[in-house]
Amino acid sequence: MLITPFSFTHRSKLIDKVGQRPVDLLVIGGGITGAGIALDAVARGLSVALVEKSDFASGTSSRSTKLIHGGLRYLKQLEFGLVKEVGSERATVHHLAPHLVIPEKMLLPLYEKRGLGYWLTSIGLKLYDWLAGVKEEDQRKMLTKAQTLRHEPLIDPTDVKGGAIYAEYRTDDARLTIEIIKTAYAKGAMPLSYCCVSDLMYEQGIVCGAKITDALSSKSFVINAKVIVNAAGPWVDELREIDRSKTGKRLHLTKGVHVVVGKERFPIKQAIYFDVEDGRMIFAIPRGRTTYIGTTDTTYLSTKEDVYANKEDATYLLNAVNRTFPSANLTLSDIESSWAGLRPLIHEDGKSASQLSRKDELFESESGLISIAGGKLTGYRKMAERVIDLVFEKHFPARENTCETKSIFFTGGEFKDYKEVSHYKADVEKQLAKHQLSNQADYLVSTYGRQTDLIISQLDSIAAPDPQTKLLKAQLWFCFTHEMILTPADFVVRRSGMLYFDIARLKDSKNVILQEFKKQFSWSDQQLGEEELQLDTLISSCTNFIN
């Protein structure tokens, strides 16, 4: 297995490189959309730079429901084209990274007095399977009341009429984004995190570059580019304002919140998608030692930099669970962690947050700036294809080009199918047992894929007081060397998922993490103290609901 090192030690050289000569394409935004655009472009032969003002996937692309799903809820909005596209795309992404995009059967309870009812749901799911191209073995199965309660005994039996099982895929959105970034980097793209666009540059009215500020050194540099794509997610309109092209359609930001509880407090047997009294649908999904619940959908008008769940958000989700699963009796004190993200949707007059379309849209300004907004995690690859098709049509019409991303496996994802992933997990479990690290294979393989081999290869050479600390240091080594982590938050949120799904381990190992960062970056004691305060603040923001 060959993996191109992607380390902070290469960062200054990368900054120097992007400033040496113009690139064909500059992508602004390092979420799933920007990552997909960069990979598609470099695979078609363009020279590509990408800048992200914080860490890769630090905005919307680490704060979704973490599903590569077929968009069942969009049938209600009659968006058949969207259901068809994301349905076929989820099969493609599963093929490219079967360790990271994992089959997940979803239970949909049906009720007498709310929802679409048994027969309408049956017809809808049949249409969903057809539009999404679901394989026969994964197509919907309708359940009686008794069968539904056997699938999930915690459901309140007093009103449930029956149920349905249908196919979804679970993922880690941040891991998916970083693997696409790394794959693009291995093919020659130049991605830079913590690099913020401070201004755009023009030549005869045509955008031709951007002024960039490195957030770590506060130094500025310039990237000249033939084409610039604005894939900044919730910040798309800010760049359109800099370009003086924010006219016509605009973003409508909505907030989605998820809370995490221990599996022992909400021990559902499988993923469930259930409706609540206000007509919304809520997911409850087991993951490792936890169950996470979401999401809300409310208009958001506050600062985009610090988006967290508040007491009202958390209470709404817990009440929804307690109505459907009365024996759960969840309270705010049961919440271990939480996250909140913004959806950059296209505003439509007269529509509420939950009614807004999830379709993506392209905007091309008179200066040539191409902006993309809206869309879904599942549809990132087709969104990128549409953007790069336009780039070639407008700027490189003479070049031969074909989208190749349908067959480009992501780093760590070189598996034939999910069965091969299972076999690999079994092998990893045997290797870990030699190091007294049982029950870690599923987490490591679903997080790092075949790159788990690199982590295991470090265990013998690491000095640590116990096996768990040894494994943590091996993970940190891997992320320092191959995943461009620059702050503790990069690791605990977006590379390992510890903040959300293993916060007890994070609290226990916080000092080990900080000391490893201090050693790697030669921090002073003062900076170590500042970084510890930032990490404590981050933990508090996900666990305390005071407003």
Using CA atoms, how far apart are residues 215 and 212, in angstroms rounded to an integer?
Answer: 9
Q: Residue 276's CB: how many other CB atoms inside 10 A?
A: 17
The answer, yes or no, to whether residue 505 has pLDDT greater than 90, is yes
Contact 467, 486 (CB under 8 A): no
Fold type of domain 8-60+174-250+357-407: FAD/NAD(P)-binding domain (3.50.50)
The pTM (predicted TM-score) of the whole model is 0.95
The matching CATH number, chosen from 3.30.9.10, 3.40.50.720, 3.40.50.1370, 3.10.450.710, for 253-346 is: 3.30.9.10
Query: Is pLDDT above 80 for 81?
Result: no
Task: Give the C-alpha separation, 112 to 375, whole Å.
Answer: 33
Residue 263 CA to residue 286 CA, distance in Å, equals: 7
Local structure of residue 495 (DSSP, 8 states): I
Domain with CATH 1.10.8.870 in the chain: 418-543
pLDDT score for 518: 98
Q: What is the pLDDT of residues 342-368, one digit of tens each?
A: 998 888 666 666 655 667 889 999 999
CB 171 within 8 A of CB 179: no
Distance of alpha carbon 29 from alpha carbon 519, whole angstroms: 30
Largest separation between any pair of C-alpha atoms in the chain: 71
More confident residue, 277 or 55: 55
One-character DSSP codes across 44-102: TT--EEEE-SSSTT-SGGGSS--B----GGGGTTT-HHHHHHHHHHHHHHHHH-TTTSE
Q: What would the mean pLDDT of 74-93 be, rounded to a whole number?
A: 78
pLDDT at residue number 376: 83
Residues of the chain with CATH 3.30.9.10: 253-346
Q: Is 446 helix (H, G, I), strand (E, B) or coil?
A: helix
Contact (CB, 8 A) for 257 and 280: no
β-strand 48-51 against 190-192: which pairing, if any? Answer: parallel
The answer to whether 147 and 160 have CB atoms below 8 angstroms apart is no
The residue written with tokens 């993922």 in the block is 171
Q: What angle do CA 466, 336, 273 make, to 5 degrees?
A: 120
Say which residue the tokens 């690791």 belong to: 491
Per residue in 102-132, pLDDT (tens digit) is 988 999 999 876 766 778 788 888 888 887 7
Question: How many CB atoms neighbour CB 302 within 10 A?
Answer: 10
What is the DSSP code string of 503-527?
Answer: HHHHHHHHHHHHHHHHHHHT--HHH
Strands 160-170 and 141-144: antiparallel
Return the minimum-mean-pLDDT range out of 23-37, 124-138, 368-382, 504-518.
Answer: 124-138
Average pLDDT value for the chain? 92
Residue 414 pLDDT > 90:
no
Between CA 292 and CA 285 the distance in angstroms is 5
Q: Which amino acid is at 358?
A: R
The mean per-residue pLDDT over the stretch 439-464 comes to 95
Angle at 428 between CA 427 and CA 430, to 5 degrees: 65
Q: Give the closest residue to 274 by CA, choosing from 72, 10, 21, 53.
A: 72
Name the residue among 325, 314, 315 with its Cα closest to residue 272: 325
User: Nearest 5 degrees, angle CA 540-CA 544-CA 545?
Assistant: 145
Residue-wise pLDDT tens digits, 166-194: 888 999 999 999 999 999 999 999 999 99
For residue 295, say if its preceding peptide bond is cis, omega within 30 degrees of 0.
Answer: yes
Q: How far apart are the first and last CA of the chain?
A: 49
- Residue 143 and residue 165 in contact, taking contact as beta carbons nearer than 8 Å: yes
29: left (phi over 0), alpha (psi -120 to 50) or beta: left
- pLDDT-based confidence at 547, cuts 50/70/90? low
**Contact between 225 and 50 (Cβ < 8 Å):** no
Rounded average pLDDT over 459-463: 94
Nearest to 369 by CA among 511, 225, 466: 225
Flag whether pLDDT at 463 surpasses 80: yes
Residue ranges, comma separated, of all CATH 3.50.50.60 domains in the chain are 8-60+174-250+357-407
Output the CATH code of domain 418-543: 1.10.8.870
